[in-house]
Amino acid sequence: MSFNMNNVAFSDENAVVYNILNGVTIQNIPFTILSLSTCTDADSDGWYVELEGCNSEPGFLGHGDCNDGNANINPGAVEICRDSIDNNCDSDIDIDDSDCRKIYSIELKTGWNLVSLPAEPLNGNNQVFVHTAESFGQLTGADTVTQWNEETQKYAGHIVGYPINNFDIELGMGFFVHVQSDSSTEMLGVPLEGITRSVSVGWNALGWPNLATTAHEFGSLITGASVCSKFDATAQLWDSHIIINPEVNNFAVNLGDGAMVSTTSASIWSYP
193 pLDDT band (50/70/90 cuts)? confident
d(CA 236, CA 233): 5
The sign of the torsion formed by the CA atoms of 68, 69, 75, 81 equals: negative
Instruction: Give the per-residue pLDDT at 253.
Output: 97
d(CA 248, CA 260): 17
Instruction: Give the per-residue pLDDT at 217.
Output: 96
Q: What is the pLDDT of residues 37-59, one digit of tens each?
A: 589 999 999 999 999 999 999 89
Q: What is the pLDDT of residues 62-94, one digit of tens each?
A: 999 999 999 999 999 999 888 899 999 999 998
- Is this model's pTM higher than 0.85 or not? no
Q: What is the pLDDT of residues 108-156, one digit of tens each?
A: 999 999 999 999 999 989 899 999 999 999 999 999 999 999 999 999 9
Residue 32 has pLDDT above 80, yes or no: no
**Main-chain dihedrals φ then ψ at residue 100, nearest 5 degrees:** -100, 5
Q: Are β-strands 258-263 and 225-232 bridged in parallel, bridged antiparallel, or unpaired?
A: antiparallel
Question: If we measure between CA atoms, which residue out of 88, 83, 108, 110 comes closest to residue 98?
Answer: 88
d(CA 168, CA 190): 18
Reduced to 3 states, what is the DSSP secondary structure of residue 21?
coil
Instruction: Give the per-residue pLDDT at 245.
Output: 95
CB-based contacts of 60-64 (< 8 A; 24+ apart in sequence):
64/89
Cα-based distances in Å from 45 to 53, 86, 120, 121: 16, 16, 32, 34
**Main-chain dihedrals φ then ψ at residue 98, nearest 5 degrees:** -60, -25
Instruction: Give the per-residue pLDDT at 271.
Output: 85
205 pLDDT band (50/70/90 cuts)? very high
Residue 27 has pLDDT above 90, yes or no: no
3 pLDDT band (50/70/90 cuts)? very low
Instruction: Give the per-residue pLDDT at 163.
Output: 94
Instruction: Give the per-residue pLDDT at 102.
Output: 93
Average pLDDT score over the chain: 89
CB-based contacts of 5-8 (< 8 A; 24+ apart in sequence):
7/38, 8/33, 8/35, 8/36
Cα-based distances in Å from 183 to 111, 145, 255: 11, 15, 17
